[in-house]
Structures are given as C-alpha cells and as structure tokens.
Amino acid sequence: MVDERSVDQPDLQAKVTLEARGDRSVQVRHMRPDDAELLERMFYRLSSETRWRRFFMPLDNIDPEQVRHETVRLATIHPEREAALLATTMEDGREEGVAVARYGRIGDDGMCAEASIVVRDDLQSAGLGAQLFDLLVQVGLAHGIHHMILLTHADNTGMIGLVHHLGLPYSGKYTSGLYEIDLRLADNEPPFFPFSQPRV
C-alpha cells in the first residue's frame, strides 16, 4: 500500500483488509475514477450530523445533480497532489463504500497536506476510522508529507480521539469554533497551523 513505487502511480487494485468490531471485514484500496457511484450511494447513507461534521453543513436538501458532480470530482485523484483511500464491504451482492480517508497537499513546498476522514454511521465507533487513517498516514509518509492538518468542529471528540489514538505528535489550535490539528509525521518539526496562522 505504501510501496515507494506507488508514489507517482498508486496501484489502484492493491487491497488491504481491515477488521471492524462486529466481525465485519472491510477492504481498503486507493480511490479510482469509477468509484464516483460508490461515493454517491455512500453520501445518501450518511446522517445529517455526519455530513455536518465532514462537510461543515448538513446538506439535507442538496440537489442530486450537485451530489453527482461532487462525487465525480472527489473520485478523480491527482496522485502528485493528493491521495484517497476507500473502504468498502460487500452488501447484497455489490460493493458499497463505508469510509473514505484523503489528503490534499497545501502550500508550495508540498510537505503539508489537509487530511479528512468520513465513516458511514453504521460503522462508526467500530475501530475502522483509526485503522483507515493510520493507512493514510503511511501513504503520506511514503509521499514525503511532514504535516497532516485536520480542521474539525471544536466539539468533535471522535476526531480528536482518533488523532490521539494514532500516537503521533500533534498540536491543536482553537479558532472561531473550529479546532485545527497539526499531526506531525516528521521529527523535530515545529507546529504549523496554515488555516489560522499561515507561514510568513
């Protein structure tokens, strides 16, 4: 999954199996352009609260055409700038998306990336999020990422707990009801908060 040979062209067929609580096996692979339909179906199975926490708005009345457009955009990965891992299970004979972890580089030096994760409600608190995000960290390390920045609601204890569970050094900064987390993947790096305190 994090083989150096996949830095420029990730192996879109490679899979990793994760075990979630409740004896549910989940397959994880790199996002492919044809996953837009999976993302669309997954979106409609997210609760209003989960949508709010991930997208900072409930999106209950969003136009279906906009959902379709956005899922196509999100499934189109530019490997030199971003990575996305899709977790799936088989349900009623077809593959369904249950979680996505992704990052996109920010800044000119390419060593900082904004990261995010969303887990379908029926698999939250099952241990999947921490395992999936750990895989994303491994991908980031293989691609030279030094800082993963997460921007979340200040009361999102699930996200804050997930970051703490990783066991990596991190710093947080509260601003305007949001919590900006700098997860540091490299040693001896000072905290960096690009959204609330950009580099001069």
Token code pair at residue 117: 């994760």
Q: What is the pLDDT of residue 6?
A: 40
Cβ density class 129-146: b for 16+ within 10 Å, e for less = bbbbbbbbbebbebbebb
Q: How far apart are CA 137 and CA 116, in angstroms?
A: 11
Q: How far apart are CA 13 and CA 146, in angstroms?
A: 26
Indicate whether 198 belongs to any domain. Answer: no
Token code pair at residue 103: 């990052």
Lowest mean pLDDT among 10-14, 71-75, 141-145: 10-14
Q: How many domains does the chain have?
A: 1
pLDDT band, very low/low/confident/very high, at 1 (cuts 50, 70, 90)? very low
Q: What is the pLDDT of residue 13?
A: 63
Q: What is the pLDDT of residue 14?
A: 79
Indicate whether 195 belongs to any domain. Answer: no
Return the SS3 of 148: strand
Indicate whether 41 belongs to any domain. Answer: yes
Say if strands 112-119 and 94-106 run parallel, antiparallel, or are unpaired.
Answer: antiparallel
pLDDT tens string 3-58 = 333 445 556 567 899 988 888 899 999 999 999 999 999 999 999 999 989 888 87
**124 pLDDT higher than 50:** yes
Indicate whether 189 belongs to any domain. Answer: no
**129 pLDDT higher than 60:** yes
Indicate whether 196 belongs to any domain. Answer: no
Q: What is the CATH number of the domain that holds 177?
A: 3.40.630.30
Q: How far apart are CA 71 and CA 36, in angstroms?
A: 5
Average pLDDT score over residue span 181-196: 91
Range of the domain at 100: 4-184
Element (H, E) at 73: helix 64-75
Instruction: Give this prediction's pTM.
Output: 0.89
Indicate whether 191 belongs to any domain. Answer: no
Indicate whether 21 belongs to any domain. Answer: yes
CB atoms within 10 A of CB 100: 24
pLDDT band, very low/low/confident/very high, at 2 (cuts 50, 70, 90)? very low
Indicate whether 190 belongs to any domain. Answer: no
In 3D, which of 133, 142, 147 has the Cα closest to residue 194?
147
